[in-house]
Each structure stands twice: as structure tokens, then as C-alpha cells.
């Protein structure tokens, strides 16, 4: 049990390295591999697993970025946790789920980032923030890479459906 949790965190770290390499080659067009990985583990292992995987991936992004620390840790942890809570209500093996869930999660993170930026700058928040958070390249790249990455993680990670609970 412990080794599968450690393997999940290791794969999130590998996805972080791939995401940073991709972002170096294709600036502002890179998919959110770390978020996709956190959503994968939340769908198949539950809310606590998604929360931990998202927090770990967000912490890595926060540590190695130039922005204020804490935002991506909180946003990715919330995305993983919420997706894990919804995992019992959705069909996780569907391509529709694998495409729309990362797309909507990344859009929610980008929207929250815009809202935090505007409130910290003291500017008023208008409906234009919804269009400002809609970045077509990263959103589409994430949506298109997600089914491929889900398939790779299925092969690399144990497929047994385990849920992290408070007692485990």
C-alpha cells in the first residue's frame, strides 16, 4: 500500500519534469501534465489520493516558479480532492471524462489565478475575467494530451482501485 502511494508521488514528480521541459520548448503552450496526473490518481484512488497528489505537484510548481508560493499547491490540491469526491459519480474510463475533466480543472485553476491577481492588484473584477482565463493553447493541449497520459498511467500504475481513507 505504501509503495503504491510513493509510486504515485514519484510519477507526479516525473510529470513535473516533463511539464517543465515541454514548457521550455513550447512556452505558453504546454499542457498541465501535473494536473492530469493528480486527476488520474484522484479518479482511481479517491479524494485523499487526489488531494495529496495535487498538493505535491502544486508544491513542486510553486517551489520552482517565480510567483507567490502556495497558489498552485492549493489549487491543484483542491482540483484533485474535488475530482476524487466526484469519482464515484462519473465514469472514469470514458474519453469524454478524460478530455473534459482536465480541461475544466485547468480552466478553474486559471480563473482562480486571474481572480487572485486582480484582487491583489486592487482592480475590480468584471465578467472579462472569464475570457482572460480562457487560454486556448494550454487548455486544448491539456485536453488533447489527457487521454494519452491516462492510458500511460494506467499501464505504469497499479490498476487496482484503492481509496485512501482516514484509517489507512
9-46 confidence digits (pLDDT tens): 999 999 999 999 999 999 888 999 999 999 999 998 88
Average pLDDT over every residue of 132-154: 93
Average pLDDT over every residue of 127-148: 92
Is residue 143's pLDDT more than 80?
yes
pLDDT the model gives residue 161: 54
Average pLDDT over every residue of 69-73: 92
Report how far apart, in Å, the C-alpha atoms of 80 and of each of 5, 19, 56, 137 are.
15, 18, 11, 22
DSSP assignment of 72-84 equals HHHHHHHHHHHHH
Is residue 120's pLDDT more than 90?
no
Chain length of the chain = 168
* pLDDT band with cut points at 50, 70 and 90 for residue 2: low
* 59 vs 131: which has the higher pLDDT: 59
Amino acid at each position: 500500500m505504501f509503495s503504491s502511494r510513493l509510486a504515485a508521488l514519484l510519477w507526479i514528480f516525473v510529470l513535473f519534469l516533463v511539464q517543465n521541459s515541454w514548457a521550455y520548448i513550447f512556452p505558453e503552450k504546454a499542457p498541465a501534465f501535473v494536473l492530469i496526473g493528480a486527476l488520474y490518481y484522484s479518479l482511481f484512488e479517491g479524494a485523499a489520493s487526489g488531494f495529496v497528489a495535487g498538493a505535491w505537484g502544486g508544491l513542486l510548481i510553486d517551489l520552482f516558479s517565480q510567483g507567490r508560493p502556495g497558489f498552485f499547491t492549493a489549487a491543484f490540491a483542491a482540483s484533485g480532492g474535488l475530482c476524487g469526491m466526484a469519482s464515484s459519480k462519473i465514469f472514469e474510463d470514458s474519453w469524454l471524462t478524460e478530455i473534459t475533466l482536465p480541461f475544466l480543472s485547468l480552466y478553474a485553476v486559471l480563473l482562480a489565478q486571474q481572480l487572485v491577481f486582480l484582487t491583489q492588484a486592487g482592480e475590480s473584477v468584471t465578467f472579462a475575467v472569464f475570457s482572460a482565463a480562457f487560454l486556448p493553447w494550454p487548455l486544448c493541449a491539456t485536453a488533447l494530451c489527457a487521454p494519452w497520459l491516462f492510458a500511460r498511467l494506467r499501464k505504469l500504475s497499479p490498476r487496482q482501485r484503492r481509496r485512501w481513507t482516514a484509517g489507512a
